[in-house]
Amino acid sequence: MENRQLNLSTEKVGKLMGKYAIPCIISLLVGALYNIVDQIFIANANYLGSYGNAANTVVFPLTVIALGIAVMIGDGCCAFVSISLGESKSDNANQSVGNSILLCVISSILLTVVYLVFKDPILTAFGGKVNKETFEFSKEYFFYITLGIPFYMLGQALNPIIRADGNPRFAMVLTLIGAVINIILDPIFIFAFKWGMMGAAIATVIGQIATFVLSIWYLFHAKIIKIKRIDFKLNFKIIGKTISLGLCSFLAQISLVAAMMAINNMIQKYGAKDEIFSLEQYSQIPMAVVGIVMKFFQIIISIVIGMAAGCIPIVGYNMGAKEYSRVKELFTKLLIYEAIVGAVSLLIVEIFPSALMQIFGASNESVYYTDFAIKAFRIYLCMIIFACINKATFIFMQAMGKAIESTLLSMVREIVFDVAFALILPKFLALDGVLYSMPVSDALTAIISLVLIIKTYRYFNKKINRQVI
Classify residue 205 by burial, with Cβ atoms within 10 Å: 0-12, 13-18, 19+. Answer: buried
Q: What is the mean pLDDT of residues 260-274?
A: 90
3-state secondary structure of 45: coil
**Cα first-last separation, the chain:** 31
Cα separation of 319 and 269, whole Å?
Answer: 49
Q: What is the mean pLDDT of residues 80-108?
A: 89
Residue 348 clears pLDDT 70, i.e. is over it: yes
Cα separation of 35 and 110, whole Å?
Answer: 22
Encode burial over 82-109: b for 16+ CB neighbours within 10 A, e otherwise: bbbbbeebeebbbbbbbbbbbbbeebbe
Q: Provide the residue count of the chain.
A: 469
Task: Choose among 63, 93, 67, 57: nearest CA to 78.
Answer: 93
pLDDT band for position 363 (50/70/90)? low
The 8-class DSSP code of residue 281 comes to G
Residue 3 clears pLDDT 60, i.e. is over it: no
> pLDDT of 374-387, one tens digit each?
999 999 999 999 99
> pLDDT of 429-445, one tens digit each?
999 999 999 999 999 99
pLDDT band for position 344 (50/70/90)? very high
Region at 272 (left for phi over 0; alpha for psi -120 to 50; beta for the rest): alpha
Classify residue 7 by burial, with Cβ atoms within 10 Å: 0-12, 13-18, 19+. Answer: middle
Residue type, 262: A
CA atoms within 13 A on the CB side of 52: 29
* pTM greater than 0.85: no
Residue 19, CA distances (Å) to 72, 307, 400 in order: 23, 11, 19
**Contact (CB, 8 A) for 289 and 372:** yes
Cα separation of 161 and 218, whole Å?
Answer: 10
3-state secondary structure of 278: coil
Model pLDDT, residue 437: 94
**Contact (CB, 8 A) for 108 and 66:** yes
Cα separation of 204 and 213, whole Å?
Answer: 15
Number of helices (H) and strands (E), helices first, in the chain? 20, 0
**pLDDT-wise least confident of 19-33, 75-89, 289-303, 307-321:** 19-33
pLDDT band for position 217 (50/70/90)? very high
Cα separation of 241 and 377, whole Å?
Answer: 39
Task: Choose among 380, 383, 361, 379: nearest CA to 370.
Answer: 361
pLDDT band for position 2 (50/70/90)? very low
Model pLDDT, residue 15: 87
Q: How many domains does the chain have?
A: 1
Cα separation of 180 and 105, whole Å?
Answer: 25
Q: ∠ CA 252-256-261 to the nearest 5 degrees?
A: 150
Cα separation of 260 and 124, whole Å?
Answer: 13
The 8-class DSSP code of residue 384 comes to H
Q: What percent of the chain has pLDDT over 70?
A: 97
pLDDT band for position 372 (50/70/90)? very high
Q: How far is Cα of residue 89 from the mean position of the Cα atoms in its chain?
A: 30
Residue 395 clears pLDDT 90, i.e. is over it: no
Task: Choose among 58, 78, 71, 80: nearest CA to 31.
Answer: 71
Cα separation of 31 and 23, whole Å?
Answer: 12
Q: ∠ CA 335-336-340 to the nearest 5 degrees?
A: 115
Cα separation of 31 and 25, whole Å?
Answer: 10
> pLDDT of 146-171, one tens digit each?
999 999 999 999 988 998 888 888 88
Model pLDDT, residue 5: 46
**Contact (CB, 8 A) for 148 and 128:** no
**Contact (CB, 8 A) for 215 and 160:** no
**pLDDT-wise least confident of 98-102, 208-212, 356-360, 457-461:** 356-360
pLDDT band for position 280 (50/70/90)? confident
- The residue with greater pLDDT, 254 or 457, is 457
What residues make up the domain containing 350? Answer: 2-468
Average pLDDT, the chain: 88
Model pLDDT, residue 357: 84
Model pLDDT, residue 256: 72
**Contact (CB, 8 A) for 361 and 274:** no
pLDDT band for position 6 (50/70/90)? very low
Model pLDDT, residue 141: 96
Question: If you compute the radius of gyration of the chain from its CA atoms, what whole number of angstroms results?
Answer: 22
Q: What is the mean pLDDT of residues 195-212?
A: 95
Model pLDDT, residue 362: 63
3-state secondary structure of 283: coil
Task: Choose among 397, 408, 417, 406: nearest CA to 327.
Answer: 397
> pLDDT of 106-138, one tens digit each?
999 999 999 999 999 999 999 888 888 999 999
Q: What is the mean pLDDT of residues 292-318?
A: 87
